[in-house]
Amino acid sequence: MGDKNLEDLKGKGVMVYDDDHEIQYYIAPGFKFLPSDDELVFIYLKRKIQDPEGFQPPFIPEMKIYDYLPQELLDENEDKDAYFFTPRSKRHENGSRAARTVKGGPGYWRAGPPKKEIKGIDDITAAYKNSLRFFQSKSKTDGTDWQMKEFVMCSDEKEKAGCSSSYMKLDDWVLTHIYLKNDGGD
């Protein structure tokens, strides 16, 4: 009676991946995942860090995003907008900065404006939201419209104490929101 199969919905909703990072099914059109920063940090990221194996919401897949160009991550997604849990690795073995170079190409994610603090109980900083832009080469003028919001839980928040200057434990899960900025162009 006019029913469509899941393949007909391809690219019309949220991508959902199976354990092999293959798209398994799509959530029906009309559904859009629009969480607030607080919801992303305190409902999703915090639970993922506390129970990495047990907490796996199907609409936020685990993905090593730095192994892919942003267009590769979202080529099946019509909205060009998705959330991922990803581990972070260090830029240098003894360093404290995150490696943000993409392995599949010459590009990298460059941090933009200053990070935004996300406050928890008693107005203590519980997490940070970093804004990043994808660049196709080492040139600072080669920026693209691909954007990322990266949510990083403070190390000390796990102990209920707030952030220190070394808030990044680079092997923890972070939550990212990757999207193509719609500026009215094609």
Q: Which pLDDT score, from 0 to 100, does residue 24 have?
A: 53
Nearest C-alpha neighbor of 22 from the set 50, 51, 58, 46? 58
The secondary structure element, H or E, covering residue 72 is helix 70-73
Pick from 29-33, 49-53, 117-121: least confident: 29-33
Give 99-134 pLDDT, tens digit per residue: 788 886 789 999 988 899 999 888 889 999 999 999
- Residue 153 or 104, more confident: 153
* CATH 2.170.150.80 assigned to 33-180: yes
pTM score, whole prediction:
0.76
3-class state of residue 4 by DSSP = coil
Q: Which pLDDT score, from 0 to 100, does residue 114 have?
A: 85
Q: Which pLDDT score, from 0 to 100, does residue 167 have?
A: 46
